[in-house]
Amino acid sequence: MTRQSETELEAQLAARGWPGRPLTDEPLAADVLNTRWLAGTDAYDLLEEDALTLAWLDKHGLDAGAAAADVRRHLREARCALAAAVADPSDTAALNRILDHGRIRLSLDAEGTVETPEVADPARYAAWMCARDLTRVMSEAPGRVRKCANPPCVLHFVDTSRKGERRWCSMAVCGNRAKAQRHRTRHHGAT
């Protein structure tokens, strides 16, 4: 990712009057889940517009390689599959269908092992890379890819805390809302 590609995406959001994206420093697998977010009661989705999708791909160094509409369709499919696997780690059927479209070719060079992704359909490449990244993250940090515990929130994150007990996408936003709701409930009864 280059700062220029991140700035380009931010500029496109601003040009549409959209708020900035939260949690933009997450790994690819979580970031594709966070291409959809809420600001107040308004929903935003980068995968609904070609230009925004292409800017998001560029941010991650991924080439569309095919018609943007086809790439968007496969990315939305991947987003749903990844969310299902995060919500229930035994729900892997859709994720595995995406992974079936590619493979990693291993080779050796003077510096060590080289992994080369091979995906036959260029329109599926970005979706496959997102699914592949989820397998990597879930292997390296089992149980640490999570959806925010605030039910209306749609954001996901990789919990890198020492104890592995992070619950909120942001303590300042969702965590604070939950604390305020608990306070209201304790002092004023359920509302």
Burial per residue of 127-165, b for 16 or more beta-carbon CB atoms within 10 angstroms, e otherwise: bbbbbbbbeebbeeeeeebbbbebeebbbbbbeeeeeee
If you average pLDDT over every residue of the chain, what do you get?
90
Per-residue confidence band for 76, with pLDDT thresholds at 50, 70 and 90: very high
E strand or H helix at 72 = helix 68-87
And the tokens for 130?
């997102």
Is residue 147 within 8 Å of residue 159, measured between CB atoms? no
- The pLDDT-based confidence of 183 (bands split at 50, 70, 90) is low
Per-residue pLDDT at 3: 59
**Residues 6 or more apart whose Cβ sits within 8 Å of residue 174:** 148, 149, 150, 153, 155, 168
Q: What tokens were used for 175?
A: 């965590």
Q: What is the pLDDT of residues 9-65, one digit of tens each?
A: 999 999 999 999 998 889 999 999 999 999 988 999 999 999 999 999 999 999 999
Given phi > 0 = left and psi -120 to 50 = alpha, else beta, which region is 61? left
Q: What confidence tier does 190 reach under pLDDT thresholds 50, 70, 90? A: low
What was the pLDDT predicted at 55?
Answer: 94
Q: Report d(CA 169, CA 88) in Å as an integer.
A: 19
3-160 CATH: 1.10.3300
Q: What is the CA radius of gyration of the chain?
A: 18
Structure tokens at 172: 């300042």
DSSP 112-138: EEEEEEEESSGGGHHHHHHHHHHHHHH
pLDDT tens-digit profile of 125-154?
999 999 999 999 999 988 999 999 988 899
Asked whether the predicted pLDDT for residue 66 surpasses 70, the reply is: yes
Q: Mean pLDDT over residues 86-100, rounded?
A: 96
pLDDT at 96 over 60: yes
Is the per-residue pLDDT at 171 higher than 80?
no
The pLDDT-based confidence of 100 (bands split at 50, 70, 90) is very high
